[in-house]
Amino acid sequence: PLNKPEPKNPELVFLQESIDNAIMAHLYEKEDPQDLEGLRDGPPKIKSSFSDFPQPLDRMFQNLDVMYLFGAYYFVLGPLITLLVMVQEIAKEKDLKLRQGLNVQGVSHFVYWLHWFIVGTVLNLLQIYILLFIGYFFEFDLWRYTPFNILFTLFFWFGEATLFLGFMISTIVKTREQASQIAYSIILANIIMEMVFSDSDFTFKLFFTDDVRKLGYPTIALHIFELMPSFSFSLAFGIIARK
């Protein structure tokens, strides 16, 4: 906690006790032996014991749920990295005319996109299972009290939606430079969006209350934000974490 006392220094405490005991031993030798009849075991020695000062509860960090507040912000990074890799690799093949070469060899468009879909799904499943394993290993409350099917469905479909967003970007760009620029822009936009909408309570009050829906323009903004998979993911994740 922020109000925790400074840690004790054993070397400094030992030095202080040694000095105090040396002073007492020196004074003991100067005393008249008749006045020290009750101290036959030698000069008295100081022995220290410690106890922390009572600490009040910090209201800012009492019942703090880090997973609910910041989980959605960090869990979007895995699929976003997959999006970056997929967009760059597909744009690289397009830039080097490798796809035309595959068409000459008889590879159809369906097989080409099926291949990249399988690769992206495997990467998505890999990062999901790693994330779930870490959550169960450290026994986070969200993993302990949420069924596996719900967590897997949430992370899987968010990763797949991000993957399809990468496919759409890769069909628009023509060069690797354009792919990198758009992919990094998407990642930056998602990070900024998560900084604002990672709190599902704030998102719900901003878009889903009856008074807000009567205005009209928040609904238009909501449809625009829903084009980004991370917006719906952060809202769903916040609702699950809060429950």
Residue from 184, 178, 180, 166 nearest 83 by CA: 166
Residues 127 and 238 in one domain: yes
Residues 92, 118, single domain; the answer is: yes
The alpha carbon of residue 78 and the mean position of all alpha carbons in its chain are separated, in whole angstroms, by 11
- Classify residue 91: in a domain, yes or no: yes
Does residue 58 fall inside a structural domain?
no
- Looking at the structure, tell me whether residues 149 and 225 fall in a common domain: yes
Establish if 100 belongs to a structural domain.
yes
User: Tens of pLDDT along 215-234?
Assistant: 777 778 888 888 888 888 88
pTM above 0.95, yes or no: no
Q: What tokens does 66 get?
A: 């880090």
- In this structure, the answer to whether residues 18 and 95 fall within a common structural domain is no
76 and 32 within one domain: no
For 31, the domain range is 1-53
Of the pLDDT bands very low, low, confident and very high (cuts 50, 70, 90), residue 238 is: confident
Which two structure tokens, joined as six digits, stand for 51?
Answer: 């106890």
d(CA 70, CA 28): 63
Largest CA distance in the chain: 113
| pLDDT of the residue at 72 | 74
Number of domains in the chain: 2
- Kindly tell me if the per-residue pLDDT of 1 is higher than 60: no
Q: Are residues 210 and 104 in the same domain?
A: yes
Mean per-residue pLDDT, 38-50:
70
Last residue of a domain, one of 53, 78, 97: 53
The answer to the question of residue 216 being in a domain is yes
Residues 78 and 172 in one domain: yes
Residue 59 lies in a domain: no
Rg (CA), the chain: 32
Q: Could you tell me if 105 and 204 lie in one domain?
A: yes
Query: Is 19 part of any domain?
Result: yes
Opening angle at CA 173, ends 167 and 176, nearest 5: 100
Same-domain check for residues 30 and 79: no
Q: Band of the pLDDT at 5, cuts 50, 70, 90?
A: low
Of 38-47, 51-60, 98-107, 213-222, the poorest mean pLDDT is in 51-60
Region 151-177 average pLDDT: 90
Task: Indicate whether 121 pLDDT > 60.
Answer: yes
Over residues 17-26, mean pLDDT: 84
User: Residue 60 falls within a domain, yes or no?
Assistant: no
* Band (186; pLDDT cuts 50, 70, 90): confident
Q: pLDDT confidence of 200, banded at 50, 70, 90? A: confident
- Let me know whether 49 and 74 are in one domain: no
Residues 45 and 108 in one domain: no
Co-location of 92 and 177 in the same domain: yes
Written as six digits, the tokens of 58 are 């910090």
Dihedral class, residue 51 (left if φ above 0, else alpha if ψ from -120 to 50, else beta): beta
Alpha-carbon 212 to chain mean position: 31
Q: Does 61 map to a domain? A: no
What does the pLDDT average to over 106-120?
88
Q: What contacts 136, CB < 8 A, 6 or more positions away?
A: 143
What's the mean pLDDT in 186-213? 79
Question: Is the distance from CB of 47 to CB of 18 less than 8 angstroms?
Answer: no
- For position 227, what pLDDT does the model report? 83
Query: How remote is the C-alpha of 76 from its chain's centroid?
Result: 9
